[in-house]
C-alpha cells in the first residue's frame, strides 16, 4: 500500500512563505543544496505523527496575475516500490502523467501525475544511486 511520505508547498515568495509557516506553525526550514531552489520543511519531532515536506518556487505563472499556474496547491508525494509500474497503474486507472521520470540525485526517481479529478501528486521510488 502506498503512503503519503512528503508534501510540497509551491510559492511565489519563499521568504514570505517561510515567515508565515514558521510564525503560524513553528515549522523549521533548511535550504537544500541541490540543483534547484528547494527548502526542506520540518513540521515537528520525528517521534510525533505527521510528515515533513518542502517548499519551492511556483512553476509557471502566479495566481495573482490571473493566469493559471502550473501548481497552486500542496503536492503530496507517494512512496512507490517501482516508479515505472506505478506510472502504468496511474494511466490505467484514468490518471495522467504530468512529467517525465527524473532522477533526484542521491534520493531516487520522481515524477508528477494527476488523478482523474485533476489533483496533482508526486511519486517517488527510493534509489540512493539515482543520478
- Per residue in 58-86, pLDDT (tens digit) is 776 665 566 665 665 668 889 899 999 99
With respect to residue 114, please indicate whether it lies within any of the assigned structural domains.
yes
Give the CATH number, domain containing residue 88: 3.10.180.10
The cell for 51 is 510528515
Per the structure, the count of domains in the chain is: 2
pLDDT over 60 at 98, yes or no: yes
CB half-sphere exposure, 126, CA atoms < 13 A? 6
With respect to residue 64, please indicate whether it lies within any of the assigned structural domains.
no
The pLDDT tens digits for 2-54 are: 888 999 888 888 998 899 889 877 899 999 988 889 999 999 998 988 899 99
Instruction: Answer for the pair 84, 107: CB distance below 8 angstroms, yes or no.
Output: no
Domain that holds residue 130: 80-131
With respect to residue 72, please indicate whether it lies within any of the assigned structural domains.
no
With respect to residue 93, please indicate whether it lies within any of the assigned structural domains.
yes
Same domain for 41 and 85, yes or no, is no
Amino acid at each position: 500500500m502506498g503512503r503519503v511520505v512528503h508534501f510540497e508547498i509551491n510559492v511565489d515568495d519563499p521568504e514570505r512563505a517561510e515567515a508565515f509557516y514558521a510564525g503560524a506553525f513553528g515549522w523549521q526550514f533548511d535550504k537544500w543544496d541541490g540543483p534547484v531552489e528547494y527548502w526542506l520543511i520540518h513540521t515537528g519531532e520525528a517521534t510525533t505523527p505527521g510528515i515533513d515536506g518542502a517548499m519551492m518556487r511556483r512553476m509557471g505563472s502566479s495566481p495573482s496575475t490571473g493566469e493559471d499556474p502550473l501548481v497552486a496547491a500542496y503536492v503530496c508525494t507517494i512512496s512507490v516500490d517501482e516508479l515505472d509500474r506505478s506510472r502504468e497503474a496511474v494511466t490505467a486507472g484514468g490518471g495522467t502523467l504530468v512529467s517525465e521520470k527524473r532522477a533526484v540525485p542521491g534520493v531516487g526517481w520522481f515524477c508528477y501525475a494527476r488523478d482523474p479529478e485533476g489533483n496533482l501528486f508526486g511519486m517517488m521510488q527510493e534509489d540512493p544511486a539515482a543520478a
